[in-house]
Structure formats: C-alpha cells, structure tokens
Amino acid sequence: MTGPDWMVGASRPITKVLVANRGEIACRVFRACAELGISSVAVFSEADRGSMHMQMADEAVFLEGTELSETYLNIRAIIEAAESTGSDAIHPGYGFLSERSAFAEAVLSANLVWIGPPSHAIDEMGDKVRARRAMIEANVPVIPGEELPLDNPEDLVEELVRAATRVGYPLLLKASAGGGGKGMRVVREPRNLQREYAAASREATTAFGDGTVYVERLLEKSRHIEVQVLADSHGNVVHLFERECSIQRRHQKVVEEAPSPVLTPENRLAMGAAAVNAAKAVNYEGAGTVEFLMAEDGEFHFLEMNTRLQVEHPVTESISGVDLVVEQLRVAAGLPLEFTQDDLTIRGHAIEVRIYAEDPANNFLPATGPLVMFRPPEGPGIRLDTGVREGDEARIDFDPMLAKLIVHAPDRPSAIRRMKRACEDFIILGATTNLGFLTDIMNHDAYLSGATTTDFIDIHWPEGWVSTPPSDAVFAAAAAEHMGLARKAIAVEADEGRGSPYNPFLSLRRSFP
C-alpha cells in the first residue's frame, strides 16, 4: 500500500479515514486529512443530512435509525461503513464512542487502524478508582480520598461514614465511571452524607451502568489545570504544556486558555513531568490530557485523564505550533514523534471560548432557531472551529455548542483584548447564544487579573446573568440586513409551499446579548 510522502516508514499506512463523529470535531479531522493527502469518510444520521461535516468529507455514509444507539453509538454500523468505503482507519473524535474500549477493540478486530490510545489505557483511566491506584503507584499526586468496599454492602453505611470522617468535610462523592459532573455530589455536613451518596450512586448507575462511588476531599477555590500529552508507539512521551480550564458551568468548561496565568516555571515543570509519568504508567499512545486540580497554596493533584482529543485542543496548538490531529494520525500510522521535549516552547497566549445556542439570561437553557446570520470575526490571530454555517439550524438533537472561537496573541492582555473584540464582532442572528455572557467574562476584573477558580461563575453571577440590550443604532443596522435575509427565506418557502419556520422579529431580539 502506498500513501503520501509523510507516511514513508509507517508500519500502519493510512490512506482513508472514517470519522465516527459529527459537527465541528469531524470537520476539524477532515481538514487535517485533506492537508495530509488522506481521503475522508463521514457518517451522518437523518438529523445531520446536508450538514457541514457531511459535505466536507470525500464520502458520506448514512446511519439508519433515530436513536443515538442506532447511529453515532452503533459500533457495528460504523465498522460496516468503514468496510464498505474501503477505509483503513477510524478516528473517534471526542464524545460518543471515543472513550469506549469496546469500540477500539472492534476497530482493531476489523483489521482497521484505531486513531486513539490502546484499549487497556482507556479502561484504566476511564475508571476513576483504578486511575487513582495507578497514579499513586506512579508517584503522581492525587486528591486525598478513599474507596468504599464493594464486597460487603451491609457495612457500606458504616464504611461511608468512617471514610468521610477520615477525608474530612466538605467532601465530594464521585462516580468511579463518571464524567461531565454526573454522579457527583458535594457534601458539606455529615447529616447529608447518606442521602447524597444514594443520589450519586443512582445517577451513576443510570448514566454509566456502574453505581460505584468513592469519597474525595473537596478542594474549594481550586483551579482546573490540564496538561496535553503526546506519546508514540516507540516509547517517546512529551507534554505540550498546560491549559487553564477553571471557568466552568455545571462542570462543563466555558473558557480555556494556555498557558495558565498563575503557574510558575517550577509548577509547570513539575506538572508536566507528572502528566508524562501518568501517560507512561498506562503505556499510553496518541494524544491525551491529564487533568489536575491546583489548590490555593499551589499544590496540585491528579483529577483524571481524558483518553481522547479535548474540545479545547486548539489553544495548545496555538502556543506550541503542533497540529495535534496530524500527530494523532502520524502516531496511529506507527511513526515516531518528530520532536522531543526540549524542542517545545511556549509561544504567546491563546484563549478559547465555547459558543453555545443557549440563553444565559434564562438559566442557560438550550435555544433553537435558524442561523439567519452567522458572520464570524476576522483578523490576525483569530480561528474558528465549527460545524455550522449561515442558513443551518441550531437544534437540540445534540450538544448545543455551535462553534469554538480561538484567539492567539503575544501575551495574555493582548489575547483578552483580541477575544473581546472577536466576541463583539461575531454576528449570530436567529438563535440565542452566550456571546454576550462571554464578552462580560472577558471584561470582568477578576478574569483580567487571572483570578479564575472553578467557582468563578457562581461567585460573580450568583443570581444569574442579565443581558444588556444593544444600542438603537446597532439594532437598526442589524435589523435591516436581518429583515432582508428573512424576506428572502420567506419568499423561498412560499415558492415551495412552506410556511416560515420562525418569527424574524423575535429571533433578532433574542440573538443580542
């Protein structure tokens, strides 16, 4: 089998990649494939017919069914799509099947290349209790905590009370198989312990099929800092520095930046070394992220490892100059990393914000509507990763994230100013978004000073966020163009015998911060 020049020496040549995902991450992988001269295949469900990711790929395969279990979570259907198109590799993106070891094994069993870590690493790091044990053995600092016995359910209540007493209040109850905040409960007083344990275990069982919960100390006023690692199949492991991901809502990240505004060179060196040791402990291959919580005193503790590409990977690419998707493809092809740790340096500062179709003024509830106008900002140091275009629909079938807006500048103050302008220049009409909220974060004194702890949003908007209406001049200018586009859409629908699916006046009003 032959391939592009960059694949000379590859033990597992890749010429066609199927992406088992959708939206912006599928588009991101397709771009990398095109740059490397690799053919690409998309899979799509009925909800994604005509979507951007479907049209970007060289080929597209329809996944029959209406439920996720029938489409993007259907291992058999995805393998069959790869085989029917002559694909020789599968990239899982993030979410969906990306951290399912059974999927990785199925890909390999079909004699396809798996663009991801070994299944044993997915399993070990996917179980938080097993991951804690592995990290302790590798001398990676972990948050103080205790497991609960699984062999004596009758003694569970007594063991729970004893473990909580040893760990100390306030504490966290966390699902072993958890993620995204599911199966997690904060307990501040002993009287709430049993009730919250039952709720966490019940939620974990529903979400992950595993109700195992362990006890961990709650590190308040902490920072969420993660380290990007890359490892090949030749024993080389490097880190690409850290990302600060502390600004979160319901345990979901909202703003990410690299590097962290508070790490000292000593912290950075120690945290990077710990991340590399974590990857080595499970014989990792490919791109992965080791997440830490850093306390007020500067001590950091292992939180978890994400065995996939992260949503926020662009900020690392910006400051390191390394294309992480390209490196994933190279590693999967059996090639060694082309650089060592000493070759990597931090270049400037990068910030990413996640743009959601949601209403921040209404408890961040998901919003829907047509993207009548979708005009991204332009200029030096501005990047947009998205899976939607003007004319598409913001729907609630999947994650409400419309795009990731990334800026890169020589330093943090410059990056903040660039992001503020980019958010203000981004025009989205027809669906409500969080752009106004993101702009307010960029303007906030606490963010400007780098005081970005995990409770940032709760502290500064305890009663919720309130929007500021646009000026009459801005509203009038936008309304004029909006109404022109709306009339065209209505005319087309009238010709086709359809009614207008939206009220242009309402969608315009809701679209502004």
Q: List active site positions.
A: 308
Is residue 88 classed exposed, middle or buried when 0-12, 13-18 and 19+ CB atoms within 10 A define those classes? buried
Nearest to 179 by CA among 140, 121, 127, 246: 127
407 three-class SS = strand
Q: Are 217 and 167 in contact (CB under 8 A)?
A: yes
Per the DSSP assignment, residues forming a β-bridge with 217 are 171
Cβ neighbours, 10 Å, residue 67: 10
Calculate ∠ Cα 22-25-28, nearest 5°: 120
Nearest to 23 by CA among 360, 381, 389: 389
Distance CA 86, CA 98 (A): 21
Distance CA 450, CA 243 (A): 13
Per the DSSP assignment, residues forming a β-bridge with 385 are 404
Say which residue the tokens 């203000």 belong to: 424
Peptide bond into 259 cis (omega under 30): yes
The full length of the chain comes to 513
Distance CA 381, CA 229 (A): 24
**Cβ-based neighbours of 9, under 8 Å, separated by 6 or more:** 335
